[in-house]
Amino acid sequence: MLLRLPVSLSEAQECLAEGAIPIGGATLVWATWQRDGFPEQAMSLRRLPEANVIGREELGAAVMLHQIDERVPEVLRRAAATVGTGAVRRTATVGGNLVGSTLRCLLPAALVLNAGAVVLESDGVRETDLAEVLAKRHLLLGLRWREPIASAYRKEAGEAGGPPPFVVAAAVHADGVRQLRHLRVAVRDGYDVLDDSVPYDTGADADQVVDLLQDTTIGTLHSPGRAVVRRHVRELLAGLPR
């Protein structure tokens, strides 16, 4: 197998046109290739500058999970820190986790940030939403978002060999036009991911805000899941100034 390492967008496009298979850290595809056979060409974005950015409002797809630090919002940093083992985090990438994994551990965090996706196609770079990226498995270059006022992430304890642990992520955002706020919440329940948002009145207490979530898709959760969301949102809002 020939591994290609483009250093520019034009080189990456050339690799795609010539049939190179995009990989992240190859943590998820290696066993499959050993079983079914290796492709003739693969492509890694680890040397592509556009896929390696880390900032308060952007994150490249080739960034390895252990590299995600205080430069990004807390919800995304904590989500990355809970993925697998230290060895996995030193190899797995943002793009591989979001596009190549069935668990998609970073997805709830990305959703509550209202993150958009930057993708590379044969005719250039464009921005789209995460739903399209996941459905069509585009080549992800990175994520972009507007920094939230506050954010938080929680992963419940799971059982070895059992279903994926329950995850809840939340973020409070400012509305730049009306100077209002809204709360966005996302959960991973098994392999399903739900997300929704509600307006957040700084004069309301946390229980009033959580009650609004009962009329969204989050309200369709089972009782234990709703209880975890309630605790999580209470703790996030408690730390915000009135």
Can you read off the two tokens belonging to residue 126? Answer: 């464009």
pLDDT digits (tens, 9 = 90+) for 111-169: 999 999 999 988 889 999 999 999 988 899 999 999 999 999 999 988 777 889 999 99
pLDDT digits (tens, 9 = 90+) for 158-178: 877 788 999 999 999 997 655
Name beta bridge partners: 193: 188
- For the purposes of burial, counting CB atoms within 10 Å of the CB of 183, is it exposed (0-12), middle (13-18) or buried (19 or more)? buried
pTM score over 0.85? yes
Map tokens 């921005």 to a residue: 127
Mean pLDDT, residues 27-41: 67
d(CA 53, CA 44): 15
Indicate whether 25 pLDDT > 60: no
